[in-house]
């Protein structure tokens, strides 16, 4: 009915019609300024892979000599046909998500990619449809929302290039003109890659740890020579469980607390107390301890907040051992809201009021839990008998990721030092290994490589027992700088013994044939 002016309050705003107001093409530019960190952007794309049922995801840095030219995320998920790809590449495209999907807002592919690259290409195929592709160029999209259709033959060629990952179906996301790649100065590509991949390993290992702990899901990070297709580096991402201690810091933990929340009902949270002074990467290696205390919030098994108190209290050093796991309810609610970048959760005051009433099975309060975590921290701080291991130069390329993680858990790393690389090379028969102190390289004689692979195909991360033992005995030679007569004699001794042992092993292998 028509609106009639008057003094009474209008509970509904009266309208007189409607009109369509399509977004300005400059909306695409706003996607490039969403504040996505590099690691968070890659994680967002891998969420799409998980939603597509992928079991294998490869993040590939493509290198041309000393220059990084592109980045790819390749998966073996169910893929997309033309229609689905158009929806995925549409800015503001409508997409339905299941209750257990990791996707949430429908903007991640575009926003995450265009935050870091000026060209986004997506190529996909399903079991029943051929390869198809679309490309966004930010310069073009900002003018008129025009999206390129990728040449069909190239789509299939790129799919074929990665047939080790993609079989009958899968998707490739390609970033070109990556802005960070353009900032690398001459001679610094190796350092850039090592630091970037280390951060990416940690971020993916933490935020996707529940998926990585499953037997049938894998993420690999590789560096590929774009011309020869040779893998210059290959690292499997291992899950980093932020609650992955061996023994809790206090007996009786973890404990489950029930939190009554207005408008939501009862929410359970699992409260942990870490063992004090733990050297594990899952405790010390995921960021400053003061920032990693607090709530760890999961949505459909994906970590979306790693620490923080969400305004319910301030971070204090004596709460560094306190970490609480919360699984968000599946249903939409007005209490918890996820940030677009999936790096945090906003909460209403109802959550803080609920914490005041939270109880464990014995009636213990949340405040008492914090008090116990604080007591464990303060008691440990008073003790001064703890054995301190010396800081070491960390292991790098050529070391199996699981071994590398254990070494980093057990030994504190020297900051600012290039990692120690292991490489198989052609060397004189009477030399088992030598070292390059300046470049932090352990060279191994590839004549003896077969001894440590038992007929298996050799890979860059092979012979973990040998490399682990050599790392432990040789690391000090890199840390202590110039050689000495004593250390040179030690290495001569180890070389002699290892050459003899390797030859014995080779002879045993020949005799058994």
Q: Is residue 453 very low, low, confident or very high in pLDDT (cuts 50, 70, 90)?
A: confident
Classify 32 as helix, strand or coil: coil
Which pLDDT belongs to residue 99?
A: 59
Instruction: Please state whether beta strands 67-75 and 170-178 pair in parallel, antiparallel, or not at all (unpaired).
Output: antiparallel
What are the pLDDT digits (tens) for 36-87? 899 999 999 999 999 999 999 999 999 999 999 999 999 999 999 999 999 9
Q: Considering only 392-396, 402-406, 498-502, which range has the smallest mean pLDDT?
A: 402-406
Classify 349 as helix, strand or coil: helix
* Closest residue by Cα to residue 348 from 267, 270, 289, 272: 267
Q: Is the pLDDT of residue 130 over 70?
A: yes
| Rounded distance between C-alpha atoms, residue 86 and residue 48, angstroms | 15
Which pLDDT belongs to residue 285?
A: 87
Q: Considering only 84-88, 163-167, 478-482, which range has the smallest mean pLDDT?
A: 478-482
Work out the number of other CB atoms within 10 angstroms of the CB of residue 232: 15
| Rounded distance between C-alpha atoms, residue 349 and residue 262, angstroms | 10
Q: Is residue 244 very low, low, confident or very high in pLDDT (cuts 50, 70, 90)?
A: very high
* Closest residue by Cα to residue 335 from 323, 322, 353: 353
Percent of the chain with pLDDT over 70: 90
Q: Is the pLDDT of residue 102 over 60?
A: yes
Q: List the alpha helices (DSSP H) in 384-463.
A: 401-410
Strands (DSSP E) contained in 131-181 are 132-137, 148-149, 170-178
Strand ordering across the sheet containing 265-273: 255-261, 265-273, 322-327, 294-299, 302-306
Q: Is the pLDDT of residue 509 over 90?
A: no
Which pLDDT belongs to residue 33?
A: 61
Q: Considering only 104-113, 185-194, 234-243, 312-321, which range has the smallest mean pLDDT?
A: 104-113
Q: Is the pLDDT of residue 19 over 80?
A: no
Q: List the alpha helices (DSSP H) in 5-146.
A: 27-31, 38-51, 82-89, 108-114, 138-144
Classify 441 as helix, strand or coil: strand
Give this prediction's pTM.
0.79
Q: Is the pLDDT of residue 105 over 50?
A: no
Q: Residue 395 has what DSSP assignment?
A: B
* Closest residue by Cα to residue 218 from 402, 38, 84: 402
What are the pLDDT digits (tens) for 343-391? 788 999 999 999 999 999 999 999 999 999 999 999 988 875 556 788 9
Q: Is residue 104 very low, low, confident or very high in pLDDT (cuts 50, 70, 90)?
A: very low
Classify 224 as helix, strand or coil: strand
Longest Cα–Cα distance of the chain, Å, equals 105
CA atoms within 13 A on the CB side of 437: 11
| Rounded distance between C-alpha atoms, residue 508 and residue 309, angstroms | 61
Percent of the chain with pLDDT over 90: 63
| Rounded distance between C-alpha atoms, residue 490 and residue 505, angstroms | 22
């Amino acid at each position: 009915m028509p609106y009639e002016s008057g003094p009474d309050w209008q509970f509904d705003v009266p309208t007189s019609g409607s009109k369509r107001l399509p977004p300005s093409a400059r909306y695409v530019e706003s996607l490039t300024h969403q504040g996505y960190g590099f690691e968070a952007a890659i994680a967002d794309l891998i969420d799409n892979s998980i939603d597509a049922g992928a079991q294998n995801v490869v993040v590939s840095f493509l290198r041309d000599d000393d220059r990084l030219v592109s980045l790819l995320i390749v998966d073996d998920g169910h893929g997309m046909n033309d229609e689905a790809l158009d929806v995925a590449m549409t800015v503001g495209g409508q997409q339905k998500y299941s209750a257990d999907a990791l996707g949430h807002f429908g903007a991640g592919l575009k926003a995450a990619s265009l935050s870091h690259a000026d060209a986004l290409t997506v190529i996909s195929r399903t079991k029943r449809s051929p390869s198809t592709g679309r490309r966004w160029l930010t310069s073009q999209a900002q003018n008129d929302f025009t999206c390129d259709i990728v040449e069909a033959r190239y789509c299939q060629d790129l799919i074929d290039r990665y047939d080790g990952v993609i079989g009958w179906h899968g998707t490739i996301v390609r970033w070109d003109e990556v802005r960070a790649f353009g900032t690398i100065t001459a001679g610094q590509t190796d350092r850039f890659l090592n630091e970037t991949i280390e951060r990416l390993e940690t971020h993916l290992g933490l935020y996707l740890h529940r998926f990585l702990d499953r037997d049938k899901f894998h993420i690999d990070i590789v560096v590929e020579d774009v011309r020869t297709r040779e893998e210059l580096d290959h690292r499997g991402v291992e899950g980093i469980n932020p609650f992955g201690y061996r023994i809790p810091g206090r007996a009786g933990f973890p404990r489950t607390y029930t939190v009554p929340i207005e408008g939501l009902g009862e929410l359970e949270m699992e409260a942990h107390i870490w063992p004090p002074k733990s050297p594990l990467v899952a405790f010390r290696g995921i960021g400053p301890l003061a920032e990693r205390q607090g709530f760890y919030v999961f949505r459909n098994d994906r970590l979306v907040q790693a620490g923080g108190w969400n305004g319910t209290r301030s971070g204090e050093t004596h709460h560094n051992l306190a970490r609480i796991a919360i699984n968000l309810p599946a249903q939409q609610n007005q209490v918890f809201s996820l940030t677009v970048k999936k790096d945090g959760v906003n909460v209403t005051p109802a959550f803080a009021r609920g914490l005041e009433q939270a109880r464990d099975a014995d009636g213990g309060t949340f405040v008492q839990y914090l008090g116990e975590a604080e007591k464990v921290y303060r008691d440990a701080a008073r003790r001064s008998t703890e054995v301190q291991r010396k800081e070491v130069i960390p292991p790098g390329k050529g070391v199996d990721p699981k071994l590398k993680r254990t070494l980093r858990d057990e030994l504190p790393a020297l900051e600012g030092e290039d990692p120690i690389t292991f490489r198989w090379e052609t060397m004189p028969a009477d030399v088992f290994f030598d070292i390059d102190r300046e470049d932090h390289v352990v060279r191994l004689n590839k004549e003896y490589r077969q001894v440590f692979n038992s007929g298996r195909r050799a890979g860059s991360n092979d012979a973990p027992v040998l490399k682990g033992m050599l790392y432990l005995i040789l690391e000090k030679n890199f840390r202590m700088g110039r050689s000495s007569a004593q250390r040179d004699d030690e290495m001569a001794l180890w070389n002699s013994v290892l050459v003899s042992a390797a030859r014995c092993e080779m002879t045993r292998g020949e005799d058994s044939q």
